[in-house]
Structure 1
């Protein structure tokens, strides 16, 4: 198959592990995410997200086609929907799209963004990450998501998982991260001791087999915000996360990484 490319044309599109509507949702594409198309069947496309390299199956009706030149150009579009609840864009037919924070606004200019030749009016002030990320901005972004419900594979205000949460927070602050917690744990610089933790550091947690299964963002050396049931704040020590709701440790600390 000749190399093909696409861009997500709906507010959110599920990425699945198999070619079925009943298959597990492993991640999501947001409006404006551009992808390589690696395989195609009658209805399904196997795609690779250009932002983080994540692969999976999606419904072809949720993508618009891109040329190779347009695909390359999208690497340089960093304007996005901000961390706020109501981000509305309007298509030429007058219909609205409600975008989640971190959604890209491709080719944004003078109040409009574009998917190919399709024009959308942007009714909010777009967000551009600061050139130099700060712990204060990262923390403020993370706190915006507090109480968003947990959803496996989620990346939106209607449901988000632990790695999707920190990835989105960092994306809004101009720091690219991989999609899954174990991938994120391979990035950054190790923080050797808990008292040295700074706001914005990421803490990773493993299971009994040593596999990293959870991630959260440190607010300080004693508190962490993470997606577990919902995005919430818990206390931390050298053993891990202590859940006041459970009355016990819920996650065992493996490693802490710094990205700024």
Structure 2
């Protein structure tokens, strides 16, 4: 997705396979201005990246689908395949195949439907760690490149939570956590730049750590001041606020530590 209808324009986000959009405007035969159904994000895409579907298909694809949990995995058509990434949607997937138009595709990797599990902090962390070492890419949303709010959005989206695309909007959802000592695994930590603007976000992990995308998806130490880069021995990001989207967990550990969460049911079988 680009800021304006030109290949030279800045990439502001990405659409993954199976995600639906509403076409808002057309510019010639090459470009469409679209609104993504998953987060209402608006941008320009090239027309040949889209496939027209009927209104009934649009409704079904937005309610009955599964997420691919494979970093990269092909879906196989009758005489071709399409490589898809983690977080891509498989519309009306029956566990083996799905259909787009008149073409049936098979998918043999791990996939999960949003209705198949109960979201937990453990599941959130496991999903996030699958993106480890993904390179930073402004506007990216895939294992080939992503930015910090995309990591948060994709992980929570696959866990059943609708999260905005940008960090400045993500900070508006959830409940405030006043002190880092009261934080729990799966909370979101937001960071500000020198102008006081929200510029970065990460997901809290046990033992005072955070997983975030800074140069690439990585795990660093976190305290009340911010993210500490042990390699460079300095603070790389200044903490502004911690927000909670997941249900509050009764801690079973000492003060200042993030509780571990036991996995159950389908979530444990997925990894």
TM-score, scaled relative to structure 2 = 0.86
Q: d(CA) in 1 for partners of 2:3 and 2:148?
A: 19
Q: d(CA) in 2 for partners of 1:168 and 1:154?
A: 11
| Structure with higher strand content | 1
1:123 aligned onto 2:108? yes
* Equivalent position of 2:263 in the other structure: none
> Which blocks of at least 5 consecutive residues in structure 2 are unaligned?
247-271
**Aligned partner (choices 48, 53, 68) of residue 81 of structure 1:** 68
Report the count of equivalent residues. 244
1:104 aligned onto 2:126? no
Let me know the Cα RMSD of the aligned residues: 1.4
Judge conservation of contact 2:192–2:237 (CA < 8 Å) in 1. Answer: yes
* Equivalent position of 1:3 in the other structure: none
* Equivalent position of 2:223 in the other structure: 237
* Equivalent position of 2:154 in the other structure: 168
Which runs of at least 4 in structure 1 moved beyond 6 Å after TM superposition? Answer: none
* Equivalent position of 1:207 in the other structure: 193
* Equivalent position of 2:38 in the other structure: 51
1:180 aligned onto 2:166? yes
**Aligned partner (choices 125, 143, 167) of residue 139 of structure 1:** 125
Moved more, 58-67 or 165-174: 165-174
* Equivalent position of 2:265 in the other structure: none
Return the offset for 1:211: 1.5
Q: 1:195 to 1:78 in 2, by over 3 A?
A: farther
Judge conservation of contact 1:77–1:106 (CA < 8 Å) in 2. Answer: yes
> Which blocks of at least 5 consecutive residues in structure 1 are unaligned?
1-14
Return the offset for 1:110: 5.2
Return the offset for 1:123: 2.1
